[in-house]
Amino acid sequence: MQFFLDTANIEDIKKYSTWGIIDGVTTNPSLIAKEGVSLEKRIKEIAEVVKGPISSEVISTDLDGMLKEGRAYAKWAKNIYVKVPMTAAGLQAVSVLSKEGIKTNVTLIFSAGQAILAAKAGATLISPFIGRLDDISEDGMALIADIVKIFQNYKFPTKVLVASIRHPRHVIEAAKLGADIGTMPPAVFEQLVHHPLTDSGIKKFMDDWEKVKNKQ
């Protein structure tokens, strides 16, 4: 399973890249807005740190605008994935961009039907938002199970990028289902690292070592 970092914060991206477990980065307009920098500047900065896929989302909602932005983003770095919302115009844009060899990520997927359409349009990645489904008392992980099964049935090359991950349980369940990628905020990486038994185990080892360290 690949792990992407879901943030536009360059300090966090630099920090977690040193852990050796980050395969890519996802951003969205809200994450960029939080940073108070231009999209182009920040995406280029991220591309200096991360060699794996970097998702950069279009702002336009019409086909021409999406194509113009997508083609421009693709020139910023070799590893840019143009993130396009799941709309009819978005599907058209993905179909055109993928034929031009530009990698795409269809975002805001909330149903298996939307996932099938995005895959048929030629999306490289699709982003089902599981946390936002859970937030409205739907079952986000059931959607991942459906999509993984459907993509296997038809051998769609499109990869399932589980998005809107809120906690480690989401990561583990998505991994059990065979999802290709999980994108998560820094807080979830921190939660994944820690376990109280690891912490108490280290403390016990160190305490015991203290007692004998000066003995020959």
Q: Cβ distance 118 to 126 under 8 Å?
A: yes
Q: Given the complex with ligand E4P, which of 28 and 104 has the nearer CB atom?
A: 28
CB atoms within 10 A of CB 12: 16
Smallest CA-to-CA distance from 182 within 194, 190, 173 is with 173
Q: Which residues bind ligand E4P (CB under 6 A)?
A: 6, 26, 28, 107, 127, 129, 131-132, 163-164, 183
**How far is residue 96's CA from residue 46's CA, in Å, rounded to a whole number?**
26
Q: Cβ distance 71 to 100 under 8 Å?
A: yes
83 is catalytic: yes
Distance in Å, CB of 203 to ligand E4P, minimum: 34
Distance in Å, CB of 184 to ligand E4P, minimum: 8
Q: Given the complex with ligand E4P, which of 187 and 202 has the nearer CB atom?
A: 187
Q: Given the complex with ligand E4P, which of 104 and 164 has the nearer CB atom?
A: 164
Q: Given the complex with ligand E4P, which of 21 and 202 has the nearer CB atom?
A: 21
Distance in Å, CB of 125 to ligand E4P, minimum: 9
Alpha helix segments (H runs only) across 25-139? 29-35, 39-49, 63-76, 88-99, 112-121, 130-135
Distance in Å, CB of 63 to ligand E4P, minimum: 22
Q: Which residues contact 34 (CB under 8 A, 6 or more apart)?
A: 8, 9
Catalytic residue among 15, 83, 103, 149: 83
Residues with a catalytic annotation lie at 83
